[in-house]
Each structure stands twice: as structure tokens, then as C-alpha cells.
Amino acid sequence: MKKLIYILVVVILIGAVAFTLNKNKQEMTEKAAVAEIRSEAIPVAITEPKVEKLDKSFIAQGNFRPYQSLTLTSETQGQVLRVLKRKGDRVKAGELLVQVESNTMNADLATAQANYEKAKRDLARFENLAEGDAITKRQLEEARLQVNATQAQLVAARQRLTKTNITAPFSGEINEIHVEVGSYLNPGAKLYDLVNVDRLKLNVKVSEAEVLLVERGSKVTVRANAGGGEEYEGTVTAVAAQSDPTLKYDVEVEVKNASNNNLRAGMYGTAFFEISDQRDALLLPRQAIVGSIQDPSVYVVVNQKAALRKVRVGTVTQDRVEILDGVQTGEKVVQSGQINLREGIQVKAL
């Protein structure tokens, strides 16, 4: 009897499990069917090509560089006696920065001065003798050459002495210092990194279509991304004659800094190139383009189905693209949602 009961219990459990599995399978099938029905039409955003005025104005971004930048090096040798400027100090052109021991240079200058004076006296004496034919023309010429040689040595000695007082070659700010009092300098030793940020250069890259709209000397509005939105007037000072490997052209914009020099070299900046030229053009939002601008396509909706179509583009702005061929006004073009599309798939306009 107990064995029969066990058999019945097992049969009931097996039946319950089979019923549950069958029910779950039916529910999954129904959900899959619903999902399939829903996925038949891909939701997309639709736009239409429109004839509008094409504004050729554009923006370009880059980094600010100092107008002047120099690593100042020593042209003399000797021990450093005084360091007058430190990191962060403002300096003016010609201002004394470092003073180097000059005893040896002073001695050299005194010797060169004495040699020059002696050579001049010898020449004067030889000229008097030459009037009486007491010396040869060759001796007189050698005396004149000696004067010229000692004079050159005197000029060189004065210059070497001058270089023991190291001055700023241009006005700017000490960005880094490499020397201290007591250091022994040799020619070529680093002294300071000096930068001039009273004016800066913003280097940006523009496309081949945009570079044709940029002229040297034209005014540009410049804004530093970290400058709280403050605008500066910039002037185009250089336009590259050759593109880089990515077919971009370098444009250099010079910007006058504010009185407190709040613009810093290395900051990220944006240049706004305002182009007054406008014309009628067939335009699409740039996000409607599938693929690259060099090989562009768009999805056109025909009978509620997506059709991939090649297009030819003209001028490209920041948010719109001129369409020269491939679509016409009145056609439905997918603006967003292309990532889920393929040729012939059903679409539903949002």
C-alpha cells in the first residue's frame, strides 16, 4: 500500500513539473511573438531636406601658445654672484637677471686696452718714419694690421665682460629658473625659461572647405574654455599653405591678453570665424549622415521602409550639411536611429 502511495506522489510531482514547464514555454513563446511584432518597425526620427540660407561661419578649437618663448642660456663662464629674478617674476627687456664674476674678464679687457694703445703709438711712430723713408712699406702695413688686430681683441674683451651681466632679451615672465648663487656657469648652461603672454597665439585646425574662407589679417572672436566665457579679439596672422596628413590646415590667431594676463599658455580656446557670405542651399542636419563626410550616405524612408542612398555633399558647417545630389526636398530622411537600420527594414516615425 505504501509503495502505491509513493508511486502516485511521484506521478503527481512529475505531472506538476511538466505542466509548469509547458506553461513557461507558452509564456516565453508569447513574449517572443510580441517582441517580434514590436521589432518589425524600428522607431526613428525623421527630417526633410530644406532649402535655406547657408551660413558659412564656423568655429575651430586649439591651444594657446605664448607669443614669445625662450630658454635663456649662458654665453660666459664663471661663478654666479647675484640672482636678481626668481620664478614667477615679471621682467622687462634689458633688465638685469644674473651677475657673474668678472675679475678675469676685467683683466682681459685691461690687457686688450693696453695692447691697442701700444699698437696705435707704434703705428704713429712708423708713419713718421715712413715719411723719411726710414722703414719699408711692408713694416708700415704690418703696424696698421697690428692696430686692427688689437682693436678687434679689445671689442671682444668688452663683449665678454658685458656678457657677465645677463639681461632679459624681451619682456615677459620667468616660468622656470635653473641657476642659483654660487653656481659655476659654462657657455650653454640653462638659466631661465622666459615666456611672453602679453599676447598669445591660438593654433587651430580647419578643413579644406573652411581654409578657403580664412584670410590673413581678418578679425576673429576668441574665447578661452576656462575663462568664464570672456571674449577676446583675435587676428589671423598665418594660414598654412599645406595640409597635415588628416587634410586639416593650421591657422594661427594672435590674441592680446587682458591686463591681468588671465589667459595662460596651454589653455584650450575656441575661435569663431564669422563669414558674411550666404546663399541658398539644400541642407540636412549633419547627424543624418551615415558614414564619413568623405563617403556619405543617408537612410530615406520609402513606403515605411529604410533605403540606404548615397549622397554628394558640399559645404559642411558645425551642424548642417549641404546636399548637392542624392535626395530632394520633400523626401523623408532618417535623422537619428540609423544604428538599428539596414536596407529594407520597416521603420516607424517618432
**Do 259 and 302 sit in the same domain of this protein?**
no
Per-residue pLDDT of the chain (350 residues; tens, 9 = 90+): 555 565 654 556 565 555 555 666 666 655 554 444 445 788 999 999 999 887 778 889 999 999 999 999 999 999 999 999 999 999 999 999 999 999 989 999 999 999 999 999 988 888 888 777 777 888 888 889 999 999 999 999 999 999 999 999 999 999 999 999 999 999 999 999 999 999 999 999 998 888 988 999 999 999 988 766 788 999 999 999 999 998 899 999 999 988 788 888 989 999 999 887 777 889 999 999 998 888 899 999 999 999 999 999 887 777 888 898 999 999 999 998 888 888 989 988 88
168: in domain: no
Contact 59, 273 (CB under 8 A): yes
Choosing from 273, 290, 315, the residue where a domain stops is 273
- State residue 78's pLDDT score: 93
Residue 12: predicted pLDDT: 63
299 and 262, same domain (yes or no):
no
Q: Residues 203, 269: one domain?
A: yes
The whole domain housing 144 covers 103-163
Nearest of 343, 40, 325 to residue 334 by alpha carbon: 343
Determine the Cα–Cα distance for residues 232 and 197; give it in Å rounded to an integer.
14
Beta carbons of 116 and 154 less than 8 angstroms apart: yes
Domain at 128, CATH number: 1.10.287.470
Give me the helices (H) in 84-195, please.
Answer: 103-131, 137-162
Sheet holding 320-325, edge to edge: 50-55, 278-285, 320-325, 312-316
Contact 337, 43 (CB under 8 A): yes
Residue 192 lies in a domain: no
Number of residues that make up the chain = 350
Q: Do residues 205 and 264 both lie within one domain? A: yes
CB 179 within 8 A of CB 80: yes
Residue 217 counted as domain residue = yes
Asked whether residue 267 falls in the same domain as residue 290, the answer is no
268 and 315 share one domain: no
Place of cell 599658455: 265
* Alpha-carbon gap, residue 90 to 300, rounded angstroms: 62
Q: 71 has which bridge partners?
A: 193
The verdict on residue 25 lying in a domain is no
- pTM for the whole thing? 0.59
- 254 with 292, same domain? no
Query: Cell 530615406 belongs to which residue?
Result: 300
Letter for the amino acid at 96?
L
Alpha-carbon span 26 to 17, nearest angstrom: 14
From 120, 138, 163, give the residue that closes a domain.
163
- For residues 102 and 238, is the Cβ–Cβ distance under 8 A? no
Residue 182 lies in a domain: no
Question: Considering its fold, how many domains does the chain have in total?
Answer: 3
Residue 343: inside a domain, yes or no? yes
Residue 175 lies inside a defined structural domain of this protein: no
Could you give the CA distance from residue 309 to residue 324 in angstroms, rounded to a whole number? 13
Instruction: Round to whole Å and give the CA distance between 73 and 186.
Output: 9
Domain end among 233, 255, 273: 273
CATH number of the domain bearing residue 208:
2.40.30.170
Write the CATH number for 303: 2.40.420.20
Q: Specify if 90 maps to a domain.
A: no
| pLDDT value of residue 2 | 52
| Residue 121: strand, helix, or coil | helix
